[in-house]
A and B are shown apart, each in its own frame.
Chain A
Amino acid sequence: MTEDIKPLGMPKWGLAMTEGKVTGWLVAEGDAITAGQEILEIETSKIANVWESPHTGLLRRIVTAEGETVPVGALLGVVADAAVPDADLDAFVAAYRETQAAAVEAPPPEPRMIEVGGRPLRYLLAGEGTATPVLLIHGFGGDLTNWQLNQPALAEGRAVYAVDLPGHGGSAKDVAAPDVAGLAATLRGMLDALEIPRVHLAGHSLGGAIALQMALDQPARVASVSLVCSAGLGPEINMAYIEGFIAADKRKDMKTAVETLFADPSLVSRDMIDDLLKYKRLDGVLPALRAIAGAAFAGGQQSSVLAGRIGALPMPVQAIWGAADRIIPATHAAALPEEGRHVIASAGHMVHIENPAEVNRLIGTLLAAE
């Protein structure tokens, strides 16, 4: 009987998420819903986002009402066919609650450290399996948590690594080689140290240019490249943002800078700003950011434009862009052939946070094609 009843559990978006608040149901009890349909708005201390139903059927019960905050995994609602009697639903909800209460939450994966060229790099590993692993590379000023809405989804049956670039997150703040080629060499060293022979790459912004460089350096090692609002495809870069981010040492200035990353500035949470300010206060971060910006964006332009060399790459390459990107123009996607261009409406530079489902689907297509 229970296989006809499907639970909707509070999703876990990223490392730090332990609970989420239901800020709005987009469907009502009794509605027919389909897998992939946006049904729920959820807010965590880090981010607010829309959640898509994993199941198709009738939404028979709403268990967690709007405004309620519940732990990850807690029952939000129940999907079942009309034929399932109410008594069965009640029994299911009661049983689910019991197992939830008894379940000891598995400790979330902890980031690990690995030394490359004498300097520690921090990375987070999610998933396992025999399929070719994925390496996720964040952009300038970001860190591995930028992929918190993507990494778990991509980690079905394969290992997905998210790394902190040198000078970022928990990695060493003294950057040996701050240009795109140097950062690519460091990540190559990381793959060597982790004994990863072949890898799918997904890079955001500056991380995209690094992914492209890695693919050019070792084409046989790279199974596919997904470039998300990527650098490396044209000369333009919003230098006011880069400089504003480096200069911002107050909440207000940081908020102004970070809001340009999103099509919907309301996604910029207090915690996001706090975390960025905390990162920027660490010893060595400012010199690292200045060194990387100086090498990668010298004179207010991208130093490393690799667009002309993409045609020679043997592996599939795609560009995914937020149409409202105010950091790197979405027109740079034109560096790819038409079938490899995906411009997503109503999303900005952080398209992988603003529309994770679509970005995950697109990256997933290249992972599946291997």
Chain B
Amino acid sequence: MSKKSFRQAINEALAQEMRRDPRVVIMGEDNAGGIESQGEDDAWGGPLGVTKGLMPEFGRGRVLDTPITESAFIGAAATGLRPVAELMFVDFLGVCFDQIFNQAAKFRYMFGGNAVTPVVIRTMYGAGFRAASQHSQCLYPIFTHIPGLKVAIPSSAYEAKGLLTQAIRDDDPVIFLEHKMMYDDQEEVPDEPYTIPFGEAHLTREGGDVTIVAFGRMVQFANKVADELKREKIACTVIDPRTTSPLDTDSILESVEATGRLVVVDEASPRCNMATDVSAFIAQHAFRSLKAPIQMVCPPHTPVPFSPTLEDAYIPGPERIAAAVRAVMA
């Protein structure tokens, strides 16, 4: 056990699973980096250094640099290996979406359970990086919409290692979303391999007044708000669903039945996102438990702005979450 960053936790999960299972290979743009160039191999390790060190240990045969052709390398992943493909930014899913939603997601069902597609697609999401509209989106609701895909959104370094290990060992296609503002976040992470089961929410805070459901990076904001409001005698439960597909609706329902108040925090665009999905579920199944209208804390329905001031205003932050909690308490 030692303190590790989100980046190190992901790197360690990849390295340990590659040691454990020779079928695990990784592929992506600049995963190894520096091919045909001067100097040492492993110059990059991906755009934010997540896969650094893997190429020297496992060689170019298992750490594949690919051209800028997402459609080809995502499609090539269903061949008996257990590939971990990196889609550099989730914003690029348009160029490989057919292979994901119409091929990988359908094989198990269409071949009567005789085919499996044990592919993991690691991809970066989220705003705050000054990377503009085409590199800042939170497109996980799109994957969540597709039956046959599993979708994991880790909220911390510990969560990242366990969920990624589970994703690699899972026989179904898994989309694994890494918020680019979280790579340097640190916490205690076991050195040994471990798995966190999918579809099981983590209650990061427990309190009887309000249920806050948050996803990915938003869990950190929700925790912060819960800790601050505790001083004002407002006790919040914070639910990190960990995976949006499968979604642990039981835990959300049970909590809202106890608190009677729900705030959902989602960094994805506000139409047809996880906040609307969770809100609709609770409105249908726990309407009579609600003591106040459900609050959704989401960005406005616009592209992510490039202006730093506007981008900061766009992201659902702790102040807006706290205001929403106070609103359901009023």
Contacts and interface: CB of A to CB of B under 8 A. Distances in A.
B118 to A, nearest CB: 18
A361 interface: no
Given A170-B1, A249-B197, A283 B192 contact: yes
Contacts of B195: 281, 283
Interface string B192-222: 1111110010010010000000000000000
A202 B162 CA distance: 35
A270 B203 CA distance: 10
A168 to B, nearest CB: 12
B203 A251 contact: yes
Contacts of B194: 278, 281-283
B192 A270 contact: no
B206 A282 contact: no
A283 B194 CA distance: 5
B192 A173 contact: yes
Given A170-B1, A249-B197, A250-B200, A281 B206 contact: no
Given A170-B1, A270-B206, A282 B197 contact: no
A306 B75 CA distance: 63
A333 B190 CA distance: 38
SS class, residues of chain A in contact with chain B: loop
B257 to A, nearest CB: 14
Nearest to B203: A251
Interface string B1-38: 10000000000000000000000000000000000000
Q: Which of A270, A281, A282 has the most C-beta atoms of chain B within 10 angstroms of its own C-beta?
A: A281
A38 B35 CA distance: 69
A250 B203 CA distance: 11
A170 B197 CA distance: 21
Interface in A127-185: 170, 173
A63 B71 CA distance: 67
Contacts of A250: 200
Contacts of A284: 192
Given A250-B200, A251-B203, A281 B162 contact: yes
Contacts of B1: 170
A278 B190 contact: yes
B193 A282 contact: yes
Nearest to A122: B1
Nearest to A173: B192
B196 A281 contact: yes
B200 A282 contact: no
Q: Which of B158, B194, B197 has the most C-beta atoms of chain A within 10 angstroms of its own C-beta?
A: B194
Interface string A232-255: 000000000000000001110000
B190 A282 contact: yes
Contacts of A170: 1
A211 B145 CA distance: 57
Nearest to A283: B193
B188 to A, nearest CB: 9
A253 to B, nearest CB: 11
Contacts of A282: 190, 192-194
A283 B1 CA distance: 14
Interface in A96-145: none
Interface string B60-84: 0000000000000000000000000
B293 to A, nearest CB: 29
A283 B193 CA distance: 6
A284 B200 CA distance: 21
A171 B166 CA distance: 22
Nearest to A250: B200
Interface string B150-171: 0000000010001000000000
A110 to B, nearest CB: 10
B160 to A, nearest CB: 14
Contacts of B200: 249-250
A284 B1 CA distance: 16
A120 B197 CA distance: 27
Interface in B114-169: 158, 162
Interface in B290-319: none
Interface in B170-204: 190, 192-197, 200, 203
B141 to A, nearest CB: 26
B227 to A, nearest CB: 12
Contacts of A251: 203
Interface in A6-63: none
A278 B190 CA distance: 9
A291 B61 CA distance: 38
Interface string A260-279: 00000000001000000010
Nearest to A251: B203
A284 B197 CA distance: 15
A251 B237 CA distance: 14
Nearest to B189: A278
B6 to A, nearest CB: 17
A245 B192 CA distance: 21
Contacts of A283: 192-195
Interface string A278-290: 1001111000000
Q: Which of A249, A270, A278, A284 has the most C-beta atoms of chain B within 10 angstroms of its own C-beta?
A: A278
Contacts of A173: 192
Interface of A: 170, 173, 249-251, 270, 278, 281-284
18 contacts: A170-B1, A173-B192, A249-B197, A249-B200, A250-B200, A270-B206, A278-B158, A278-B190, A278-B194, A281-B194, A281-B195, A282-B190, A282-B193, A282-B194, A283-B192, A283-B194, A283-B195, A284-B192
Sorted nearest first, the 8 A-B pairs with minimum C-beta distance are A281-B194, A283-B193, A282-B194, A282-B192, A281-B195, A283-B192, A283-B194, A281-B162
Given A281-B194, A281-B195, 20 more contacts: A170-B1, A173-B192, A249-B197, A249-B200, A250-B200, A251-B203, A270-B206, A278-B158, A278-B190, A278-B194, A281-B162, A281-B196, A282-B192, A282-B193, A282-B194, A283-B192, A283-B193, A283-B194, A283-B195, A284-B192
